[in-house]
Structure 1
Amino acid sequence: MTSRSVPLDLPIAGLAGLFAASGTLHLVKPQVFEPLIPSALPAARKVVKVSGVAELVCAAGLLHPRTRRASGLASAALLVGVFPGNVKMSADAGKRAERKRDPKSAAFFAGTLARLPLQWPMIRTALRAGGR
């Protein structure tokens, strides 16, 4: 592959937009994401804020041709890194849905399950932005 940047297209721009929105939410409402942090990691709020900053940096980097390749690879790594938190969120939601047995909890659980396979196209898009 040449050193030329992958052109900015709708999927890459969309991924940048998702990272920008999520990164902002991580910084504005970190308490939403704290339950996703595995208990083995200390300082959940700090982990959430650092990941939010990482998402914002990846978002900005995906938009610029000179940083798109490095940001694409960093974005893929970030998505792989947060995947266990998404699995934990789904497992916790499943337990809550079973305990509460109400439509709202069941719907949230279904949403968390549906979200998991969506990580893969995002990772593929990030890798493509990275020239892979």
Structure 2
Amino acid sequence: MKPAPKPTTGENIARIGLGAMMSWAGTSHLTFARKDFQAQVPDWFPMDKDFVVLSSGVVELAFGTALLALPKYRKAIGTGLAALYVAIFPGNVSQYAERHDAFGLDTDRKRLIRLFGQPALVAAALKAAGLPNR
């Protein structure tokens, strides 16, 4: 089995940047931004919004910490993070469709523009993972 190639500077920047961002996001889910994150849980989702926010905060904190502390496992962690971004996208669509204000997204236009940031996050997570393979 061939060893994984050494990460490029861009891959390391993506890994460290996303690691810091996810650590901050996870912490904010658990503390000061808890209410705002509840606006992204769809009204139709069959679980308590606060539980969803708290549990997703723990998951995001774990991803952030893992990206920073376990660079050897960046492929698996980055791929998992990309999957998480895809999984939470319906919450972002819901925030737009249900017109929930949060994080300064207080108009339909702002909420719609934010939706286009999600593919960028998926791409950054895959970059941090070193994918596609060189």
Q: Same fold (TM over 0.5)?
A: yes
1:87–1:116 contact (8 Å) kept in structure 2 = yes
Q: Which residue of 2 aligns with 1:101?
A: none
Q: Which residue of 2 aligns with 1:6?
A: 7
Deviates more, 1:77-86 or 1:59-68: 59-68
1:5–1:65 contact (8 Å) kept in structure 2 = no
1:23–1:52 contact (8 Å) kept in structure 2 = yes
1:6–1:69 contact (8 Å) kept in structure 2 = no
Count of paired positions: 122
Q: Which residue of 2 aligns with 1:47?
A: 52
1:23–1:53 contact (8 Å) kept in structure 2 = yes
One-letter amino acid of the counterpart of residue 45, structure 1? D
| Runs of at least 5 residues in structure 2 that lack an aligned partner in the other structure | none
One-letter amino acid of the counterpart of residue 7, structure 2? V
Q: Which residue of 2 aligns with 1:84?
A: 90
* Runs (4+) off by over 4 Å: none
Whole-Å separation in 1 of the counterparts to 2:6 and 2:54: 29
CA deviation vs aligned residue, 1:71-90 (integer Å, no higher than 9, x gap): 10111011011101011111
Q: Which residue of 2 aligns with 1:74?
A: 80
Identity of aligned residues (%): 32
Deviation at 1:114, TM superposition (A): 1.6
Which structure has more helix as a fraction of its residues? 1
CA deviation vs aligned residue, 1:47-84 (integer Å, no higher than 9, x gap): 11111111111111112312322210111011011101
| Runs of at least 5 residues in structure 1 that lack an aligned partner in the other structure | 97-103
Deviation at 1:4, TM superposition (A): 4.5
Whole-Å separation in 2 of the counterparts to 1:105 and 1:59: 28
TM-score normalized by the length of structure 2: 0.76
